[in-house]
């Protein structure tokens, strides 16, 4: 089943209202019991539909997982983008991105597990709207890193993809470890994000000596070029 309905583009009118109520009901049940432990008939009953009528709106349980996930990441992207626009420091932006990602997983572990298993891990994902929506989400980090690279704040050794994988991979590992070890109720995502961000920042940032050396080297190169022209 292809990912045919993009979040943020809900259908209008009665059909759209019904679809929204289905996704709301599914969200609640998945959060309470996990995706594997709910049925389409339960979702239908919770909003006063027959199971047959539900399939007019959602063709399959996997399609339901796709739509819930897409709406979730679209809303996360919008909220994160709005807050990022209020920050000017690159390190603060990276800290916020890490904090929100860890907090999102800790707050909705069942939904995140559903996203990993039912959407991201499938063969159809690479050419799906879900991938586009997730790239919009991770694209906020890409944009932050691109701007920092343009300002010569960070090193050039690592590609944007590698930095993205390192930052999100570290955040996800920390969040899941906390859940598995049952520390998620007391875990401080903000503190963890600051520590992780500070560590990454020390590794990525261009130090002042390197900046001064690069500037000096560039000036010497220009002087040598001028001397060559005069000789």
Domain ranges of the chain: 7-59, 62-206
Is residue 130 predicted with pLDDT exceeding 70? yes
Phi then psi dihedrals of residue 205, to 5 deg: -70, 150
Residue 226: predicted pLDDT: 73
Residue 157: what pLDDT?
Answer: 85
Write out pLDDT tens, residues 132-170. 999 999 999 999 999 999 999 998 888 889 999 999 999
Q: Is residue 39 over pLDDT 80? A: yes
> May I ask the CATH class of domain 7-59?
mainly alpha
Task: Specify the pLDDT at position 167.
Answer: 95
CATH topology assigned to domain 62-206: Tetracycline Repressor; domain 2 (1.10.357)
* Cα separation, 224 vs 105, whole angstroms: 55
**Local structure of 220: helix, strand or coil:** helix
d(CA 184, CA 112): 14
Confidence category of residue 118, pLDDT binned at 50, 70, 90: very high
Over 80: is that where the pLDDT of 6 sits?
Answer: no
Tell me what the mean pLDDT of segment 90-103 comes to. Answer: 96
pLDDT value of residue 218: 61
pTM of this prediction?
0.80
Question: Which DSSP category does 152 fall into?
Answer: T
Q: What pLDDT shows up at residue 5? A: 38
**pLDDT digits over 43-70, tens only?**
999 999 999 999 999 999 999 999 999 9
Residue pLDDT, tens place only, 163-222: 999 999 999 999 999 999 988 778 888 999 999 999 999 999 987 545 445 555 666 677
Identify the residue with better confidence: 160 or 129: 129
What pLDDT does residue 160 have?
Answer: 87
Give the Cα separation of 193 and 137 in Å (integer).
18
Question: Cβ(106)–Cβ(189) under 8 Å?
Answer: yes
According to DSSP, the residues that pair with 205 across neighbouring strands are: 154
């Amino acid at each position: 089943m292809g990912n045919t309905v993009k979040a943020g583009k809900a259908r209008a009118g009665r059909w759209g209202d019904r679809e929204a109520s289905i996704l709301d009901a599914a969200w609640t049940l998945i959060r309470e019991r996990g995706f594997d432990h709910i049925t389409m008939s339960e979702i239908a009953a919770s909003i006063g539909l027959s199971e047959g009528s539900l399939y007019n709106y959602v063709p399959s349980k996997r399609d339901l997982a796709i739509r819930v996930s897409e709406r979730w990441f679209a809303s996360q992207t919008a909220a994160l983008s709005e807050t990022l626009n209020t920050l000017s420091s690159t390190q603060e932006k990276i800290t916020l991105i890490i904090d929100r990602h860890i907090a999102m997983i800790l707050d909705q572990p069942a939904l995140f597990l559903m996203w990993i298993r039912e959407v991201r891990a499938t063969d159809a994902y690479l050419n799906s709207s879900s991938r586009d929506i997730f790239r919009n989400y991770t694209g906020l980090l890409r944009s932050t890193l691109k701007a920092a690279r343009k300002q010569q704040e960070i090193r050039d050794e690592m590609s944007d993809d590698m930095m993205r994988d390192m930052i999100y991979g570290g955040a996800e590992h920390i969040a899941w470890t906390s859940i598995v070890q049952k520390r998620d109720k007391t875990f401080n995502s903000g503190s963890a994000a600051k520590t992780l961000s500070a560590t990454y920042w020390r590794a990525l940032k261009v130090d002042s000596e390197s900046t001064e050396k690069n500037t000096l080297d560039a000036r010497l190169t220009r002087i040598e070029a001028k001397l060559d022209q005069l000789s």
